[in-house]
Amino acid sequence: MESIGQTLRNERQLKQLSLEELAQTTRIPIKSLQQIEADDFAQLPGDVFVRGFVRSYAKALGMDSDPLLQRIEADRRQQDQLAVVGLVGEPERARRVGVAVAMIILLFLFTLALSIVLRPRRHDRPAELSQAPAQVLETVAIG
């Protein structure tokens, strides 16, 4: 079965229309027409534009756009189902990332607590060290 883009391209070639002529008729940029013919709908602006572009393209060729739009919708549903199936493995990966983030946070908190506990305090200094500057000042002042 031909893809949507192949169907449109074959019909355009049967009518002997160039992409430039079709772009002038439909007012769809040539690059977008090329993407439609290549079935590269992901590169187009959005679903509304895809549907509108395909409808205009088919109308310019004298084709019925409804079967093409139904195929686009069927393809979209199939891709959505595949995306859901692909997400089944995601919780395991997300759990691993969550555990890694939690470990980093715990390591940071442990380091912070350890630095607070081991930080020297003013009242922990020996008495001789706290009195030494006063004696030096007296010696300097006398001398």
User: 71 with 1: CB under 8 angstroms?
Assistant: no
Domain assignment present for 104: no
Res. 47 pLDDT band, cuts 50 70 90:
confident
* CATH (domain of 21): 1.10.260.40
Q: Identify the pLDDT of residue 87.
A: 56
Domain assignment present for 30: yes
Res. 136 pLDDT band, cuts 50 70 90:
low
Q: Which of 49, 7, 1, 3 is nearest to 26 (CA)?
A: 49
Q: Sign of the CA dihedral 114, 115, 116, 118?
A: positive
Res. 104 pLDDT band, cuts 50 70 90:
very high
User: 60 with 25: CB under 8 angstroms?
Assistant: yes
Surface-to-core class of residue 127, CB atoms within 10 Å of its CB (0-12 exposed, 13-18 middle, 19+ buried): exposed
What mean pLDDT is predicted for residues 119-131? 63
Domain assignment present for 81: yes
Number of domains composing the chain: 1
Q: Identify the pLDDT of residue 142.
A: 62
pTM above the 0.85 mark?
no
Q: Which of 50, 34, 53 is nearest to 42 (CA)?
A: 50
User: 59 with 28: CB under 8 angstroms?
Assistant: no
Domain assignment present for 103: no
Domain assignment present for 123: no
Helix axes 4-14, 66-86, angle to 10 degrees: 150
Domain assignment present for 134: no
Residues of the domain holding 36: 4-88
Domain assignment present for 139: no
Whether the pLDDT of residue 138 is over 70: the answer is no
Domain assignment present for 138: no
